[in-house]
Structure 1
Amino acid sequence: MKKIIPLEEGDFYLSEEGYKVFTQQFHLKRGYCCESGCRHCPYGYSRKTNTQG
């Protein structure tokens, strides 16, 4: 079961299209890479090569 992480200020911003974009701060708080190719991934995941760097 996944742990629910409460959102705090600085964890996300809204894109021009109105989507939540999670920041590096949130990803580090979550503690793992979801391998979805997130814009601010601090773990270095690349969808092109399917690897973390």
Structure 2
Amino acid sequence: MSYLKKHIPIEDGDYYLTPEGYRCFTEQYHLKRGYCCESGCRHCPYGYSKKTNTQNG
């Protein structure tokens, strides 16, 4: 497994700012990235559950 991540340019619609000021990546961005990071992202299109540590994509 390669530990070098490829650079994904950020485009309109890839994230929004939460009321607290954090960047929240959208499903669009996750699909462009092409893999699940298993961090329990709010908009994970791969179906990862941090509670069960499983993926239902």
> Equivalent residues in 2 for 1:10-49 (5 A)?
10-49=13-52
Q: State, as a whole percentage, how many aligned pairs show the same letter.
A: 75
Please list every run of 5 or more consecutive structure 2 residues that lacks an aligned counterpart in the other structure. Answer: none
- Taking structure 1 as the reference length, the TM-score comes to 0.99
The list of structure 1 runs, each at least 4 consecutive aligned residues, that deviate by more than 3 angstroms after superposition, is: none
Once the 2 structures are TM-superposed, how far is the Cα of residue 15 of structure 1 from its aligned partner? 0.1
Matched, 1:7 2:10: yes
Q: Secondary structure at the match of 1:9?
A: coil
- Taking structure 2 as the reference length, the TM-score comes to 0.92
Pairs aligned (count): 53
